[in-house]
């Protein structure tokens, strides 16, 4: 919901940083892989309840996720790069709540499972529509430079990273934040299924 606004805020600094990285030979795919590895370091930090360290790795991962897109727009967007980016993003999204579950299974297990379940809904509806939209040649008017059709909703990247940051700042409230965000994810899922089906049916 907030991505179209946050993108405008971070666009200029990301483009400047990407231009510098491009000059020294860093590729978009390298940035994607590096960001994923950095993001995975949040997992052991969470298990050991080192939440400040986990927050650092989460933020660095998201910065890299913005940089790889900016680099791709300079170097050329590819299907392989888009596939790599979205695949690792969804793995990272599931890794964070799983880390909180292992950090405190008694308090976080059910809430973490609910959130990962909700991520299955948002992810599957997102990717299923993207496949069909690509097959039919449907383009997104808002995100023309994405390798996949970016179907918006109540919960997008901005809301997800905000929730992850909240988890790390207030780990004792992980369960309630996860339930609230998971419920919002299910609203997004139902919206995507409804409007996605309607759009495809009209084609």
What the chain holds in terms of domains, given with CATH numbers, is: 3-202 (1.20.120.1760)
Amino acid 144: pLDDT? 47
Secondary structure class of 92 (helix, strand, coil): helix
What pLDDT does residue 199 have? 85
Q: Rounded distance, CA 28 to CA 157, Å? A: 19
Mean pLDDT, rounded, of the chain: 90
Looking at residue 141, its pLDDT comes to 46
Indicate the range of 40-54, 71-85, 95-109, 146-160 predicted with least confidence: 146-160
pLDDT digits (tens, 9 = 90+) for 144-194: 445 445 566 778 888 999 999 999 999 999 999 999 999 999 999 999 999
pTM as predicted: 0.86
Q: What is the pLDDT of residue 10?
A: 81
CA distances from 191 to 62, 162, 165, 181 (A): 25, 21, 25, 15
- pLDDT over 60 at 3, yes or no: no
Q: pLDDT, tens digit, for every residue of 12-59?
A: 889 999 999 999 999 999 999 999 999 999 999 999 999 999 999 999
Sign of CA dihedral 10, 59, 28, 18: positive
């Amino acid at each position: 919901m907030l991505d179209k606004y946050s993108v405008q805020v971070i666009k200029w600094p990301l483009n400047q940083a990407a231009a510098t990285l491009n000059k020294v030979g860093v590729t978009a795919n390298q940035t994607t892989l590096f960001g994923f590895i950095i993001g995975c370091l949040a997992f052991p930090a969470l298990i050991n309840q080192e939440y400040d360290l986990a927050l650092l790795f989460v933020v660095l991962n998201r910065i890299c996720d913005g940089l790889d897109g900016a680099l791709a727009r300079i170097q050329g967007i590819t299907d392989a790069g888009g596939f790599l980016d979205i695949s690792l993003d969804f793995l990272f999204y599931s890794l964070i709540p799983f880390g909180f579950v292992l950090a405190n299974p008694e308090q976080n297990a059910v809430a973490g499972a609910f959130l990962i379940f909700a991520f299955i809904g948002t992810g599957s509806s997102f990717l299923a529509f993207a496949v069909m939209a690509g097959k039919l040649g449907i383009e997104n008017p808002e995100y023309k430079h994405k390798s996949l059709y970016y179907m918006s909703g109540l919960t997008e990247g901005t809301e997800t990273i905000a929730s992850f940051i909240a988890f790390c700042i207030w780990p004792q409230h992980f369960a309630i934040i996860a339930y609230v965000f998971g419920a919002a994810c299910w609203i997004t899922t139902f919206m995507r299924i409804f409007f996605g089906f309607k759009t495809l049916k009209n084609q």
